[in-house]
Amino acid sequence: MADQELDPQTQAELRQFIEVENSKARFQSMVHNFTDMCWDKCMTSVGNKLDSKQEQCLVNCVERFLDTSYFVVNRLDELKRRA
Amino acid sequence: MADQELDPQTQAELRQFIEVENSKARFQSMVHNFTDMCWDKCMTSVGNKLDSKQEQCLVNCVERFLDTSYFVVNRLDELKRRA
Amino acid sequence: MADQELDPQTQAELRQFIEVENSKARFQSMVHNFTDMCWDKCMTSVGNKLDSKQEQCLVNCVERFLDTSYFVVNRLDELKRRA
Amino acid sequence: NVRGQLAVANAQELLQKITEKSYKMCVTRPGQALDAGERQCIAKAMDRYMEAWNLVSRAYATRLQRDSRGMQQ
Amino acid sequence: NVRGQLAVANAQELLQKITEKSYKMCVTRPGQALDAGERQCIAKAMDRYMEAWNLVSRAYATRLQRDSRGMQQ
Amino acid sequence: NVRGQLAVANAQELLQKITEKSYKMCVTRPGQALDAGERQCIAKAMDRYMEAWNLVSRAYATRLQRDSRGMQQ
């Protein structure tokens, strides 16, 4: 709305600030979702620290979920190209 | 806001367009919810196509959920009338 | 937006009305969440009325969830103070 | 009307939860129609869910009051 | 473009559900990489989920039509 | 203050998840009060949840970096 009153450089800085904050918010929101999902998958009990099996499970849970997501997107693209 | 500048026919067309798009969005949102819920109920394993039992389960799952919804609404109306 | 046109007393009344309605909405939203969660914990079957065990379970479920919430907040504060 | 909208939203939320919970509890294997047993179960689940909602509402209100008195002492 | 935005939102929602359901069904113990069996399972789950979505969509549309005819009689 | 609001929202989300997960894991049969064992379990679950959050955050950041390097090659 008030964009016309801002000089081009300030506008560009503002736009970049918003973009960076948005991507931070998206990142944190993904981390919340992953931790929620992977906690249920990996943490059936809690001790005095995360044991190495739980740590490995949490990392693999995130990695394999992202693999699944890429696999699904790539396969959909392929199916669309062949159709 | 800018309604006063539009002639009555354009306004009516616009309103109808919005209504149709809204009802499409509501329909798709319900289909997402039903597929999510009925997938968990009916699909314990996946083969090379949906088998007839899975197809029947998915359709019945949707139909009986809607039956349940109507049953609940009608019974609430009845309870209110009697009260 | 139109705040400048309202006299101070009307403004204060309006603000209070909004606050009261907001806190009602928050209360009801919490009750929906608690009933949802505690229904799954306490109600494995339904009879002609809530039996005393189910009633006790529902009340304890709410009370202990709030205890857990306070315990978590207090412990986080403590950890922060000690850090 | 803010108050009316709030009441409508609350009733819709309750209706949705009742339908979901009754369906989940009573229609475990959806067939060609709701049978008599399923309808009876849904009717009971509805009534119990509303009782549970009221009980939870009272328990939460009582707790909030108790906690706020505790803080004033 | 309202229509385009709606289609994109719909596709994104479908994509997210497919990923979640395939992962839940096929990757029960996440290892060092997706193995061949997991990939095959995900491919099948994707295809079946889209079939299920279409089937549910038709079933719901048919039901809505039937109910609206019932109300007009 | 956009940055501050984001941090507050993030902390609130974390607090809510911690409470839900600790309650679900440690208070399986809610009694007349939280007993000593439940409190101990909640304290551990809190600490482990925050560790898990940090670990997941690092794993996700590392993965994003690796993928973006892969795309530039």
- A83 pLDDT above the threshold of 70: yes
Contact call for E56 and B49, based on CB within 8 A: no
CATH, residue E60: 1.10.287.810
Q: What is the mean pLDDT of residues F8-16?
A: 94
Which one of B29, B33, B72 would you mutate to disrupt binding with D, by most D Cβ within 10 Å of its Cβ?
B72
Who contacts A73 (Cβ-Cβ below 8 Å, separation ≥6)?
E15
Residue in chain D nearest C18 by alpha carbon: D2
Q: DSSP 3-state assignment of C6?
A: coil
pLDDT digits (tens, 9 = 90+) for F18-31: 999 999 999 999 99
Span C8-82: which CATH code? 1.10.287.810
Q: What is the mean pLDDT of residues C75-80?
A: 93
Topology, domain B2-82: Helix Hairpins (1.10.287)
- E10 pLDDT above the threshold of 90: yes
Say if CB C72 and CB F15 are below 8 A apart. yes
pLDDT digits (tens, 9 = 90+) for B15-72: 999 999 999 999 999 999 999 999 999 999 999 999 999 999 999 999 999 999 999 9
The pLDDT confidence band at residue B4, using thresholds 50, 70 and 90, is low
Say if CB C75 and CB C52 are below 8 A apart. no
| The predicted structure's pLDDT at residue D6 | 86
* R_g (Cα) of chain F, nearest Å: 17
A→F interface, C-beta within 8 Å: 17-18, 21, 24-25, 27-28, 30-32, 34-36, 38-39, 42-43, 46-50, 54-55, 58-59, 62-63, 66
Phi then psi dihedrals of residue A43, to 5 deg: -110, 85
Range of the domain at F24: 2-72
Alpha helices in A1-83 (DSSP H): 8-42, 52-82
The Cα–Cα gap between C36 and D16 comes to 11
Query: How many structural domains is chain E composed of?
Result: 1
The pLDDT confidence band at residue D42, using thresholds 50, 70 and 90, is very high
